[in-house]
Structures are given as structure tokens and as C-alpha cells.
């Protein structure tokens, strides 16, 4: 009997989009279907924000923020079924989703040396994984412009606000007033878009608008874009 030693082909899928468009949940499902690792690059920026808050770094001091990012010991799961982020051995998986981090993260994400440091780590993680779905704001354009497949996932602002509100309610995180929700979604996008372009697809990037799609339809649309660009058929099975 001949042993099957065939390795799964390398496959890099880059997904970008604005806040609440479904990048994380859809990319995780796509990674499971493709038997690939999953990289949540937003979690890396959130980890820097948590770290500088924890260390009491002056948020007006870009050099100090950049130094903290470079020194940060980050351990992040790339298994789509395991959500775990640790900084300096401290599990911050839940803490990086708290409002104080959400409200601070754009301040660190617009510091260019912070971006350069995290982009370097992201490229390393992608190279180490071989098969990976990486999502964020600048993956299709800066981190992995040569990915096998690149997708910009969008949805109307109304849909994104409604999804984020439902997500927070289901997670037991309580209600947000309309102003807070708008600041955490649209306000953050406005700030983040000063350093990354994720409101329109770059050349060669497929656009998936999920405004009128449910979750499963969106996963199917992203998988179809991957198949179209990379020519790799999706693995059958549950995605969520
Ligand atoms: N097509 C869809 N239809 C309905 N709900 C969706 C759809 N796609 C994602 N969702 C839901 O919307 C919520 C927000 O999705 P998710 O957290 O993946 O967005 P995101 O783009 O990663 O946001 P952020 O960048 O702010 O972290 C989740 O509860 C998710 O299940
Ligand atoms: N590639 C990336 C990923 C994320 N960011 C910034 C912008 C967001 O406000 C923040 C948190 O991301 P989220 O968890 O909401 O996806 O991180 C970025 O600038 N570039």
C-alpha cells in the first residue's frame, strides 16, 4: 500500500473590510472549510492597545507606543476553533474586547511604526502557516498583496451597526446607546481609514457586499471568490 504523503497546497486568503462587516466570523468559517489557519490581525492591534493601557503609556507619545508594540510578547492562536490571545503570559482574550480597548485601539493603529511592527509579525505568521485566512484592514493591500485570493467584505453602515448591536446583546455585553455604537463602528472606521484603504477594493480584489446576504450566503460568496481566484475548491462541511 502506498502512503499518501501529499501535503495540502499553500493557500493564503486575504480578507479586509470595515468594522462589523463580518470579517472575523466569516473568515473563521472560511478557514475551517479550507482546512486553513486563521489570523485575526485586529486582535493584534487590540493587544497593543491593551498593553499600552496596562503599562500606563502616554497615549499622546507615538514613540512610546511604538516601543511598547515592538517589545510586546504576543501569543495568539491561529486555530479558527480556539480564540486565545496572551500578552506577556496574561490571557487577554476577553479584555481586548472591552470598551476601553475598542475606544483606544485606533490611537495605536494609526502609529506607523506600530503598523510596521505588526505587519512584519503578520507576514511571519502567514509564512509559517502555509495555509491561512488572514483578515483586517490592510491585508489585501499591504500585508499580503500577493495572496492567492483577496476579498473586500462590506455591508451597509446600517447593517453593520445592527449586526454589532446583536452581537453585543448575544454576548451579554449589554446595550450600547446609538451614539456609543456609532462611535465604535463608524467613528473607528473614519479614523482607521486615514492609514488603510478598506472602503473600496484595490485592483484584483473581489468585492463581497453582504448587506442582503445572511451569514451562510456570505461564507459561500467568499468561498466562491477564493475558488475563482485561487482555483481551489472549498472543502465540504460545516462553516460556522
Ligand atoms: N452576512 C451576515 N449576516 C448577518 N450577520 C452577520 C453576517 N456576517 C456576520 N454577521 C454577524 O455580524 C456580527 C459582526 O461580525 P464580525 O465580528 O465577524 O465583524 P468584523 O468585521 O470582524 O468586525 P470588527 O472589525 O469590528 O471586529 C457577528 O455577530 C456575526 O455573526
Ligand atoms: N489589519 C488591521 C487590523 C486592524 N486594524 C485596527 C483597526 C481597528 O479599529 C482595530 C481593531 O480591529 P477589529 O478587531 O475591529 O477588526 O485594529 C488595523 O488598523 N489594521
Task: Report pLDDT digits (tens) over 33-64.
Answer: 999 999 999 999 999 999 999 999 999 999 99
What separation in Å is there between the alpha carbon of 25 and the centre of ligand 1?
Answer: 6
Instruction: Specify the pLDDT at position 240.
Output: 47
**Edge-to-edge strand list for the sheet holding 206-209:** 37-40, 131-136, 11-16, 149-154, 206-209
Instruction: Specify the pLDDT at position 186.
Output: 93
> What number is the average pLDDT over the span 143-157?
98
What separation in Å is there between the alpha carbon of 159 and the centre of ligand 1?
Answer: 10
184 lines ligand 2 (CB under 6 A): no
From residue 10, give the alpha-carbon distance in Å to each of 100, 131, 164: 38, 5, 33
41 lines ligand 2 (CB under 6 A): yes
Residue 233 pLDDT > 90: no
d(CA 208, CA 224): 10
Instruction: Specify the pLDDT at position 231.
Output: 86
Question: Which residue owns the Cα nearest ligand 2 atom 16?
Answer: 42
From residue 137, give the alpha-carbon distance in Å to each of 9, 165, 173, 179, 226: 26, 21, 25, 23, 18
What separation in Å is there between the alpha carbon of 215 and the centre of ligand 1?
Answer: 8
213 lines ligand 1 (CB under 6 A): yes
27 lines ligand 2 (CB under 6 A): no
Percentage above 90 pLDDT, the chain: 85
Task: Report pLDDT digits (tens) over 209-226.
Answer: 999 999 999 999 999 999
The structure's pTM equals 0.94
In the 8-state DSSP scheme, what is residue 141? I
Residue 2 pLDDT > 80: no
H runs (alpha helix) in 176-214? 178-182, 188-192
SS3 category, 119: helix
What separation in Å is there between the alpha carbon of 136 and the centre of ligand 2?
Answer: 6
Note the ligand closest to the C-alpha atom of 134.
2
> What number is the average pLDDT over the span 63-89?
98
Confidence of residue 237 (pLDDT cuts 50, 70, 90): very low
Q: In this structure, how many other beta carbons lie within 10 angstroms of the beta carbon of residue 210?
A: 23
Note the ligand closest to the C-alpha atom of 106.
2
What separation in Å is there between the alpha carbon of 11 and the centre of ligand 2?
Answer: 23
Residue 4 pLDDT > 70: no
> What number is the average pLDDT over the span 175-181?
85
Instruction: Specify the pLDDT at position 5.
Output: 60
Confidence of residue 234 (pLDDT cuts 50, 70, 90): low
Is the distance from CB of 203 to CB of 150 less than 8 angstroms? no
Check: CATH 3.30.930.10 for 11-227?
Answer: no
* Ligand 2 nearest atom to the CA of residue 46, by list position: 11
236 has binding-site annotation: no
Every domain of the chain and the residues it spans: 11-227
Note the ligand closest to the C-alpha atom of 101.
2
Residue, of 137 and 240, whose pLDDT is higher: 137
Compute the Cα dihedral for 49, 110, 79, 102 and give only its sign: positive
Instruction: Specify the pLDDT at position 178.
Output: 87
Residue 201 pLDDT > 80: yes
Mean pLDDT of the chain: 93
ipTM of the complex: 0.97
Percentage above 70 pLDDT, the chain: 93
d(CA 14, CA 161): 23
Half-sphere exposure of 233 (CA within 13 A, CB side): 3
24 has binding-site annotation: yes
Mutate to test the pocket of ligand 2, among 192, 195, 197 (most ligand atoms within 8 A of CB): 192
188 lines ligand 1 (CB under 6 A): no
Instruction: Specify the pLDDT at position 95.
Output: 98
172 has binding-site annotation: no
Instruction: Specify the pLDDT at position 235.
Output: 56
Confidence of residue 239 (pLDDT cuts 50, 70, 90): very low
Amino acid at each position: 500500500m502506498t502512503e499518501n504523503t501529499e501535503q495540502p497546497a499553500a493557500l493564503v486568503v486575504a480578507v479586509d473590510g470595515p468594522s462589523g462587516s463580518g470579517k472575523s466570523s466569516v473568515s473563521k468559517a472560511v478557514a475551517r472549510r479550507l482546512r486553513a489557519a486563521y489570523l485575526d490581525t485586529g486582535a493584534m492591534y487590540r493587544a497593543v492597545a491593551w498593553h499600552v493601557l496596562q503599562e500606563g503609556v502616554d497615549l499622546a507619545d507615538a514613540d512610546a507606543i511604538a516601543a511598547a508594540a515592538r517589545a510586546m510578547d504576543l501569543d495568539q492562536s491561529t486555530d479558527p476553533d480556539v480564540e486565545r490571545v496572551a500578552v506577556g503570559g496574561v490571557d487577554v482574550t476577553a479584555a481586548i474586547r472591552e470598551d476601553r480597548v475598542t475606544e483606544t485601539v485606533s490611537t495605536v493603529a494609526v502609529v506607523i511604526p506600530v503598523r510596521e511592527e505588526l505587519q512584519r509579525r503578520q507576514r511571519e505568521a502567514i509564512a509559517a502557516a502555509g495555509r491561512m485566512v488572514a483578515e483586517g484592514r490592510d491585508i489585501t493591500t499591504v500585508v499580503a498583496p500577493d495572496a492567492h485570493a483577496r476579498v473586500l467584505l462590506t455591508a451597509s453602515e446600517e447593517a453593520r451597526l445592527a449586526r454589532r448591536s446583536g452581537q453585543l446583546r448575544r454576548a451579554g455585553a449589554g446595550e450600547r446607546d446609538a451614539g456609543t455604537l456609532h462611535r465604535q463602528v463608524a467613528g473607528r472606521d473614519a479614523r482607521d481609514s486615514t492609514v488603510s484603504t478598506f472602503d473600496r477594493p484595490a485592483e484584483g480584489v473581489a468585492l463581497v457586499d453582504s448587506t442582503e446576504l445572511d451569514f451562510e450566503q456570505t461564507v459561500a460568496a467568499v468561498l466562491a471568490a477564493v475558488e475563482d481566484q485561487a482555483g481551489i475548491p472549498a472543502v465540504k462541511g460545516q462553516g460556522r
